[in-house]
Amino acid sequence: MKLSVIGLGYLGAVHAPCMAELGHEVVGVDIDQAKIDTLSSGQAPFYEPGLPEILKSATASGRLEFTTNMSAVADTTVHFIAVGTPQKQGSHSADMTYVNAAIDALIPFLKPGDLVVGKSTVPVGTAARLAAKIRAAAPGAELAWNPEFLREGFAVQDTISPDRLVFGVAPEPTAGDWSAQTLRKVYAKALSEHTPLVVTDYATAELVKISANAFLATKISFINAISEITEVTGANITELADAIGYDTRIGRRFLNAGIGFGGGCLPKDIRAFVARAEELGRGESLNFLKEIDTINLRRRQHLVEMTIEALGGRAFQKRVAILGLAFKPESDDIRDSPALDIAVQLHGLGATVTATDPHAIHNAQQKHPQLSFVDSLAKAVEHADIVLLLTEWNQYRDMRPEELAPLVANKNIIDGRNVLDPTQWRRGGWNFQSLGRP
Ligand code: UGA
């Protein structure tokens, strides 16, 4: 099939080569010329395991092209909208500027028999509004909503072999059936491998996506709230999570307590969901998500306070080593990163912050040039008064107390992700603290 992917951020830049890898002919469109140049040369514009390999093989196959020129989509029949919906400035709502602009730019090139497929995370009601617009401006073209559930760090695997597919289609049976049929062909490989498929209406498809992220955020804030209780009772949050996680109704995943969730999705999605519920006169229904957000942000604050306490009451001129800047391992994404937020807060309190990360330094430096960045764990911890493990990259999980001890000024460490073994570090003479564990 001939497909276009409009918007080449973390979502589109993965979706386009993965679709080409599945045998489709794909054109990727973005307004950013620098990004197009990078992608056209077969390079990934951000760190994502497996993406460089798939980009190279897809561009070499001749089935994948990138351009800033929207007219290139005229030759294709299925058009994925993969642009971002960030948090609007000064508001909790989603900023729909890029989705609206993408649709407006696409409409002049639509022809009867084309299918526009929304993948962006949008406020419920968006698909119905866009479908009406497309039908009025381009008769014979249809819209479907096909939310994306990929995780950064596993994006290629999640796109090629998703754990489920959701197609939100038009209410009219002929148009709806045709749209679902077209998407079945796009995803024929995954469907042949028995990937569960839910074919539903627009609103359900939009809500599935945002509810999934709200649920994941709730799970994380739930365990972090309980960890605030374990902290004052001497209980152990990791053992507690293991024990409740054995109940298959609960499950162990997304029950890792620590400094909480960040990234370009969970934080802004729960806020946008609340904002949309309020517009719909159902604000009360999602009020709990405000608490989820508050609990999450409180964890960062708590870590800053623990750091100051461990430093004897003030951060001023103390040397703080920050291990990890990305919002999670296997990503260079620093959007709403708890680690970077903590680094910036401590710098603001007068600490001498030295930060490192295997892949996110460049992005962090662009956003916060006031911080000092170094390219290795050893350099970061040199003469440190305290070491903060904030993003659980494997190299930080694997570090050993006896390797760090000769480098630091004071053997103080806080494990913000609960991945180190407290006994091992304390045996090495370290003042070891973590969140929610004794
Ligand atoms: C999230 C969802 O997991 C994806 O399914 C979804 O497609 C994506 O958002 C999106 O909407 O595009 P992602 O933002 O890549 O994916 O990150 P997650 O793996 O969900 O992690 C989010 C944050 O939660 C990270 O900061 C991570 O460190 C934190 N986290 C995760 C915890 O603090 N504890 C946990 O147990 C798990």
Query: Structural domain of residue 411, as residue ranges?
Result: 301-434
Indicate whether residue 179 lines ligand 1 (CB < 6 A): no
Coil, strand or helix at 170? coil
pLDDT of residue 3: 98
Q: Are residues 40 and 161 in the same domain?
A: yes
Q: Are residues 58 and 135 in the same domain?
A: yes
Q: Is 396 inside a domain boundary?
A: yes
Nearest CA to ligand 1 atom 34: 256
pLDDT of residue 317: 95
Q: What is the pLDDT of residues 61-79, one digit of tens each?
A: 999 999 999 999 999 999 9
Q: Is 238 inside a domain boundary?
A: yes
Indicate whether residue 220 lines ligand 1 (CB < 6 A): yes
Tokens of 264: 């370009």
- What's the average pLDDT block by block, 10 residues per block, for the chain (438 residues)? 97 98 97 96 95 95 97 98 95 96 98 98 98 97 98 96 98 97 98 97 98 98 98 98 98 98 97 98 98 98 98 97 98 97 98 98 97 98 98 98 98 98 97 96
Q: Are residues 408 and 288 in the same domain?
A: no
Question: Of 162, 195, 228, which residue constitutes the final position of a domain?
Answer: 195
Q: Are residues 118 and 254 in the same domain?
A: no
Ligand 1 centroid – CA 363 distance (Å):
19
Best residue for ligand 1 mutational test, from 15, 261, 389, 392 (most atoms within 8 Å of Cβ) = 261
- Count how many domains the chain has: 3
Q: Are residues 47 and 112 in the same domain?
A: yes
Q: Are residues 115 and 178 in the same domain?
A: yes
The DSSP annotation for 277-290 comes to: HHHTT-GGGGHHHH
Contact 268, 123 (CB under 8 A): no
Catalytic residue set = 265
Q: Are residues 343 and 310 in the same domain?
A: yes
Nearest CA to ligand 1 atom 6: 149
Helical segments of 107-168, H only: 126-137, 155-160
Q: Is 205 inside a domain boundary?
A: no
Q: Is 201 inside a domain boundary?
A: no
pLDDT of residue 90: 93
Where does residue 90 rank: exposed (0-12), middle (13-18), buried (19+ CB within 10 A)? exposed
CATH of the domain at 106: 3.40.50.720
Q: Are residues 171 and 42 in the same domain?
A: yes
Contact 177, 99 (CB under 8 A): no
Question: Of 169, 195, 221, which residue constitutes the final position of a domain?
Answer: 195
Nearest of 326, 319, 293 to residue 417 by alpha carbon: 326
Q: Which ligand 1 atom lies nearest to the CA of residue 149?
A: 7
Q: Is 203 inside a domain boundary?
A: no
Q: Are residues 139 and 14 in the same domain?
A: yes
Question: Of 258, 293, 328, which residue constitutes the final position of a domain?
Answer: 293
Q: Are residues 284 and 402 in the same domain?
A: no
Q: What value does the mean pLDDT of the chain take?
A: 97
Ligand 1 centroid – CA 296 distance (Å):
13
Distance (Å) of CA 248 to CA 162, 245, 252? 21, 7, 8
| Angstrom distance (rounded) from CA 125 to CA 206 | 8
Q: Are residues 37 and 182 in the same domain?
A: yes
Q: Are residues 163 and 44 in the same domain?
A: yes
